[in-house]
Structure 1
């Protein structure tokens, strides 16, 4: 028995050592089987994202297993079709860009020095320029190598290609039954509150992820087509990178345009018209995203201030590298729901609303 700062007694729930042992065993098991989890996690994620589509088909009288088969067939057909169409060209452009990127830095360095000389700067910024260009190239190369390595590793896993569709089918077919089964084990006293909390998480997470995937896909097409029309080398892979990085708010846009301009400088030199066209394509994509795509496909589902979004992205990268950067915003959205629930509970509690404690009563 403990007391709070108002002097009231608080009964803490007893935690049996068996539950702690069970939690430790589960953590150990997940850690040991991490290598085989990706196809199962991918299948569950696909089922989670496609469940609303299957629900709508089921509401129209289509049997659940038929709706599941139709939805997954269309999904994997489109996914595999895109991979087969663009994978060879994307991989070749990725490899060429990665090999060319260090040389682009050497090409751009004299141009940057010339700009500094023309601007009559009073300080010697040569060392700063070299360091910034080198760091930028290394950072972009690291991201591209990580994306390419992850993509090739996933594509070459036979287990992923075989197991993931099976897991997705059974998970999507029985999704409602599985969620109902899990809800049966919620503590009766707190079941309604837990369900409400999970509903808020689903609204924030699923809506953002589904909408943001569509935003990234459309932006990748627009950037690739626009930069190809300007004559920029590696337009397809640069557009794909820009589309993927659009999943990372703010920071992804900066990296995308910087990489495109770097390639443009290496290809066209100080051709201001070409550089303007490259930047114009990026800016038109930003206008399209901000005024049409995001408001209609994503909306305000995250509910996070831009500063918190930026912090989440950098924190995710620090904690988990490339995967942490991409998962930072969805995880932050879930944590935001939890924090809001805790703050609501605090505002409704006697700790917030009590007007006086024992010391005040004795006066």
Structure 2
């Protein structure tokens, strides 16, 4: 088979996959989460198998243990988190008004420091941001419905996800063998090498980055609650869970926490500085310790490409697209690197009509 035909076949397969995801996007959420959970837990199941547990028993034990831990955390913290989120949404307009009042009180000092023209621009920007924040808060319930986070969807997610994860874990080895059996024999070694790179990148995304995300959420929620910041638990969890978007968790958490701290602790600047310092300190720890240890260079995705993938897939597939964006970006980066490497080995790049034996290049 010629290189052209192989490329056309893979492009056709990709188009069919995208169309399938788009057609069934409304029901994909439990399957996507279940598949991610199965991929995450498969190493634990494999470890239990080495201890002479059967695959079925190992899958059941691991999945039940995870469900019990998750349910315990939800029953312990979910009522408090839900209450804080609702109160934060209700009090957001008052916080914004208080912040505007504080900035108006500081306006003489700001005018003296920045000059009247620059100070007016800053005040206009603050008012615009306040209006946008209030508009986002007002439309948030509707947006949650639009992305599928309704009561029925949540119930379907909680019921179907463990079932999907169980059956995927139960037959994981069989599925892997089935995929390997479908690979073209001529290029099996090369395709297996690509799949290993994809597995490494996916492990960095789901296991490594997922671990960083959970640690971020736990630290921010604990630190802000211990400081005594209003709604610290909810703000910390949201900031940590938003960390999968490059810089978004830090920017959102820092801005919201400092804004609440200004209203709550003013004129005690030390407490405001402590709240801001929590995020600056943890950003240093995350960038220099957590990411190198838990993720390393396995993902190797440019943050701009990551943000584009999140926006593009989110716009097309909704909430499911947001979940798929990071792993799909990881897979795409592996394939692009492979394509670039093959291009640099090709006659098109090297400037001759074939290899040393005069035969055309193969995939």
Corresponding pairs, count: 346
Find the counterpart in structure 2 of residue 361 from structure 1: none
Among candidates 329, 336, 340, match of residue 343 of structure 1: 340
Aligned equivalents of 1:323 and 1:30: distance in 2?
A: 9
Aligned equivalents of 1:32 and 1:306: distance in 2?
A: 29
Find the counterpart in structure 1 of residue 195 from structure 2: 198
Among candidates 140, 155, 165, match of residue 168 of structure 1: 165
Aligned equivalents of 1:285 and 1:151: distance in 2?
A: 32
Q: TM-score, normalised by structure 2?
A: 0.83
Aligned equivalents of 2:344 and 2:14: distance in 1?
A: 31
Q: What do residues 193-220 of structure 1 show as CA deviations (whole Å, max 9, x unaligned)?
A: 2221111111112222212222222222
Find the counterpart in structure 2 of residue 185 from structure 1: 182
Distance 1:128 1:25, change over 3 A: closer
Aligned equivalents of 1:307 and 1:157: distance in 2?
A: 31
Quick check: 118-127 or 64-73, which moved more? 118-127
Whether the 8 Å CA contact 2:38–2:165 is kept in 1: the answer is yes
Q: What do residues 221-247 of structure 1 show as CA deviations (whole Å, max 9, x unaligned)?
A: 221221122221001101111110122
Find the counterpart in structure 2 of residue 105 from structure 1: 96
Find the counterpart in structure 2 of residue 5 from structure 1: none
Whether the 8 Å CA contact 1:140–1:259 is kept in 2: the answer is no
Among candidates 244, 249, 253, match of residue 247 of structure 1: 244
Aligned equivalents of 1:193 and 1:187: distance in 2?
A: 10
Q: What do residues 316-361 of structure 1 show as CA deviations (whole Å, max 9, x unaligned)?
A: 556556665564433222211111000011011111112599xxxx
Whether the 8 Å CA contact 2:29–2:320 is kept in 1: the answer is no
Distance 1:158 1:251, change over 3 A: closer
Among candidates 128, 133, 141, match of residue 130 of structure 2: 133
Provide structure 1 residue ranges, at least 5 long, that are not aligned to the other structure.
1-9, 358-363
Find the counterpart in structure 2 of residue 82 from structure 1: 73
Whether the 8 Å CA contact 1:313–1:324 is kept in 2: the answer is yes
Deviation at 1:299, TM superposition (A): 1.4
Distance 1:140 1:208, change over 3 A: farther
Quick check: 139-148 or 46-55, which moved more? 139-148
- 1:230 lines up with 2:227 in the alignment: yes
Alignment RMSD:
3.3
